[in-house]
Structure 1
Amino acid sequence: MHDTFTTVRINGSSSGNPTPASLAPISNPDPNLVHAEEEASTKGKFACCHDIQLLRQVALLCPWEAEFGKLILAWDDNVIQLGLSSAFKLKTKGSALKTRFNTLMSKFKAGDVALQRKSGTTEEYEEHTQLHTDIKSRMDDFNETEVIETSGVLLRRMADAELEGQGRESDTPKKR
């Protein structure tokens, strides 16, 4: 077995003596390393923390309630709001957020929770599940309300058409 040795720098100086890597002191992370991790997270890969922030924002803005033709604008509003958060480091577009949200919701609806459990802590998993449940419930309620309103409009149109048809028949004189 080979021991791995490294030169440890403390306060910018090097002792010159190699120290086993396992004995290297634990110190504050190098700011350059943290910066590299942040850059890696801006390349479009969603982590568990990003998913939770996305779900929180979606729960606030309810983009599924957007008027016809304004759906992408609603998702762009989500991008703007998430961009204001210092914790959300992804640079993305509204369409990418919409796609990610749809993917998360379809996995949740399919009961694919094994993937969610693999990433993140227990608290993150529980928050994920709670947000999904709340959002799905709100989406279902909105869709149900929309169906009722649409059917009401359809019934009114049918009644108007029937009244118009009856009015035309009474205006026409009958032949004897």
Structure 2
Amino acid sequence: MRGLAALAVMLLIAPCARSAAAATPRLLVTPVELVDLAPPDQRYDQREDAARAAALGQQLHAALARSGRYRVVEKAATPPYRYTDCKACLADWARGQGADVALVTWVQKESRLIVMINMALIDLAHPDRPAAGGSIDLRGDTDATWQAGAAQLLDRTTGVTLTP
């Protein structure tokens, strides 16, 4: 009798588990884009900034994949469009990659002192609606400040914790 009860419970739970997995949105995490706003003669640390942006992108991707809130879509290539140049173009591309939502992060660097991290979570079913997300201004250009800013934005935007 116990075996039949266990089987009945399993038969009832299995469809719920499948529908929960299907309801988990597919998320595309784009590479962190670096927007250097400093005048050309004042641009320094470009290799270091590119490395920080790449590392931050990997950390965001890993944290979101671990969270279980999303099924992270593995992308084949870097987006052919910048979100800041064409939001609709990037949304179309991300949808074509099989995503339901896209997380776009970009870092605006004014100088060694002023760094702004921006994040947008786009609902690809309704890309015309305002994206969730925001911006945070930081003072200091270090790995720690970039991570602290991104951690705050990721938590506010998705409820996911970024751990180094």
Bigger radius of gyration: 1
Of the two structures, which has the highest relative contact order with CA contacts closer than 8 Å and spacing of 6 or more?
2
Same fold by TM-score, threshold 0.5 exceeded? no
- Give the strand-richer structure, 1 or 2: 2
- Give the helix-richer structure, 1 or 2: 1
The normalised TM-score by structure 2 is 0.30
